[in-house]
Amino acid sequence: MSDLFDAYPYATRYAVQRALPDVGRDPDQVLAELREMATEEDAVWEQGQCSGTMYCGDHEHYGVLNEAFGMFSHSNALQRDMCPSATRFEGEIIAMALDLMHAEAVTGTTPAGMVTGGGSGSILQAVLAHRDRARATKGIDRPSMVRPDTAHPAFAKAAHLFGLELRTVPVDPDTTVVDPQAMADAIDESTVVIVGSAGNYPYGTIDPIADLGQVALEHDTALHVDACLGGFILPFGEELGYDIPPFDFRVPGVSTISADTHKYGYGLKGSSTVLFRDKETRNASYFLVPEWSGGKYYSPGLEGSRSVGLLAATWTSLVTTGRDGYRAHAKDIFATSAAMQEVVRSHPELRLLGDPTFLFAFTSDEFDIYHVADAMKEHGWRFNGLQYPNALHLAVTRPQTQPGVVERFGRDLAAALAYAKEQTQPPASAAIYGGVPGGLTSDGAEFIGAVMTELLDAQQTVPEP
């Protein structure tokens, strides 16, 4: 594991817990230890050199959310008789998200929503709802799903977990968005949902949602729009006059939308929304066990017990930021992204992919772009690595809008290009979702699968003594 990253940087600094301590430790000592780790890890992103991940980066804002979380952290959202605050928080989070996604445009049915534990949870919940709704109303018992190859891996996870055939359609390599006709050609009578992104994770580009909506209507299937990444920034980009095509419930044929409150909604990690044009589709995924000996059990989604603290913190983020705050942050982010894109365009050996928005991706036809990642890492930058083709992306967040970050990006990128042009050996970096670890140079599927398994093992194992 040492050639990938240091999985256990604290093993030599703090005692490794291999079992419950016989005697509980002093809370002050524990908190001091945690404070040291948190301070060091915050330093990784505070200078604005980390792609995505820390979408807010405002410690004052985090302090407010932490206080809200702390008041309700011990409360269980499953027990509404004891914790009616959960109903206020959850209902109003959903209402605010529906308003942002123009639910007022929906006629003939009642829009609804659900709060989940993250983007993957929202995607899983939407796919499950469409599967069960199609089973109940159309008798489809061998369902399929059609998605662009840029769609988030959570759709593959949903297909795996819920027994759907997954059909993947390539995107145009120049535009990085999917062709609606190619999506239509992959649909048959078993298809319960098709997918579009606003924007997709690799390139930040927006699939032609209006056209996909027409495809969905013509084939009597559902369309899920994955706006986990863009849902809480693209609407404000549109308000600012950027060319953001409609992707929400204004578009006929859009059935469900996922939008993460823990990304550009600036909430704490572990919260997202999934929104439904039709309440009956949401209700299809409710889980009810009325005959259990422990009492009548019911839950709205995949999760059971949940901390009301996350609901309180998410609600607090939305209401304290407000439309004016989100619009102001979006203005800074779009402007910063545009300035960084100009830096990339100033180098003829680099090529931007697609038509970027707040997130941009670039590659090179002259050398392996991962050499650039290697060099930029030495300057403290953390890009996200892409593959097919090899590329790097930077999801611009509020930390990048600090003074001096764009200029630092320009200087460090120029030095990284000079380094990349001189290299004759393979780069150390590779494409891993969420970062660019070093040490992966083989394309063998068996090897890569083994390494990915090892990475997951390492995250859940204490170091050897």
Q: What is the CATH number of the domain that holds 414?
A: 3.90.1150.10
Q: Look at residue 456 in the predicted model and tell me its pLDDT.
A: 61
pLDDT at 442 over 50: no
CA–CA distance, 210 with 194 (Å, rounded to integer): 13
Q: Look at residue 1 in the predicted model and tell me its pLDDT.
A: 30
Q: Look at residue 436 in the predicted model and tell me its pLDDT.
A: 53
Q: Which of 317, 340, 365 is the last residue of a domain?
A: 317
pLDDT tens-place string over residues 38-84: 999 999 999 999 999 999 999 999 999 999 999 999 999 988 889 99
Whose CA is closest to 257, among 323, 193, 171?
Answer: 193
CB–CB of 192/146 below 8 Å? no
CA–CA distance, 429 with 318 (Å, rounded to integer): 37
Q: Are residues 152 and 297 in the same domain?
A: yes
pLDDT at 427 over 50: yes
CA–CA distance, 384 with 271 (Å, rounded to integer): 22
CB–CB of 148/274 below 8 Å? no
Query: Is residue 28 included in any domain, yes or no?
Result: no
pLDDT at 2 over 70: no
pLDDT tens-place string over residues 211-240: 999 999 999 999 999 999 999 999 999 999
pLDDT at 439 over 50: no
CB–CB of 113/122 below 8 Å? no
Q: Are residues 105 and 195 in the same domain?
A: yes
Segment 83-99 mean pLDDT? 96
Indicate the residue type of 344. Answer: V
Q: Are residues 224 and 154 in the same domain?
A: yes
Segment 334-345 mean pLDDT? 98
Query: Is residue 237 included in any domain, yes or no?
Result: yes
Q: Are residues 293 and 331 in the same domain?
A: no
Query: Is residue 401 included in any domain, yes or no?
Result: yes
Q: Look at residue 300 in the predicted model and tell me its pLDDT.
A: 85
Beta strands 222-226; 191-197: pairing state: parallel
CB–CB of 181/208 below 8 Å? no
Residues 10, 14, 15, 17, CA torsion sign: negative
Helix 119-138 vs helix 154-162: crossing angle, to nearest 10: 40
Q: Are residues 278 and 337 in the same domain?
A: no
Segment 185-196 mean pLDDT? 98
Segment 390-396 mean pLDDT? 97
CA 15 vs. chain centroid, Å, equals 34
Q: Look at residue 246 in the predicted model and tell me its pLDDT.
A: 97
CB–CB of 162/132 below 8 Å? no
Sheet holding 384-386, edge to edge: 351-352, 359-363, 391-395, 384-386
Q: Are residues 124 and 240 in the same domain?
A: yes
CATH code of the domain containing 128:
3.40.640.10
Residues 94, 97, 101, 102, CA torsion sign: positive
Q: pLDDT band for position 197 (50/70/90)? A: very high
Q: Which of 301, 317, 333 is the last residue of a domain?
A: 317
Q: Are residues 296 and 157 in the same domain?
A: yes
Q: Are residues 451 and 377 in the same domain?
A: yes
Q: Rg of the Cα trace of the chain?
A: 23
CB–CB of 260/233 below 8 Å? no
pLDDT at 156 over 80: yes
Q: pLDDT band for position 298 (50/70/90)? A: confident
Q: Look at residue 4 in the predicted model and tell me its pLDDT.
A: 45
pLDDT at 459 over 90: no
* Coil/strand/helix, residue 376: helix
CA–CA distance, 59 with 63 (Å, rounded to integer): 6
Beta strands 272-276; 254-259: pairing state: antiparallel
What is the span of the domain harbouring residue 440? 323-458
Q: Look at residue 430 in the predicted model and tell me its pLDDT.
A: 64
How many separate domains does the chain show?
2
Indicate the residue type of 430. Answer: A
pLDDT at 433 over 60: no
CA–CA distance, 44 with 246 (Å, rounded to integer): 36
| % of the chain beyond a pLDDT of 90 | 85
Mean pLDDT of the chain: 93
Q: Are residues 255 and 340 in the same domain?
A: no
In angstroms, what CA-CA distances link 276 with 114, 125, 131, 221, 283? 9, 11, 14, 14, 10
* Coil/strand/helix, residue 196: strand
Q: Are residues 203 and 309 in the same domain?
A: yes
Q: Which range, of 57-61, 262-266, 297-301, averages the lowest pLDDT?
A: 297-301
Q: Which range, of 118-127, 189-198, 299-308, averages the lowest pLDDT?
A: 299-308
Q: pLDDT band for position 326 (50/70/90)? A: very high
pLDDT at 443 over 90: no
CA–CA distance, 155 with 157 (Å, rounded to integer): 5
Q: Which range, of 44-48, 52-56, 266-270, 428-432, averages the lowest pLDDT?
A: 428-432
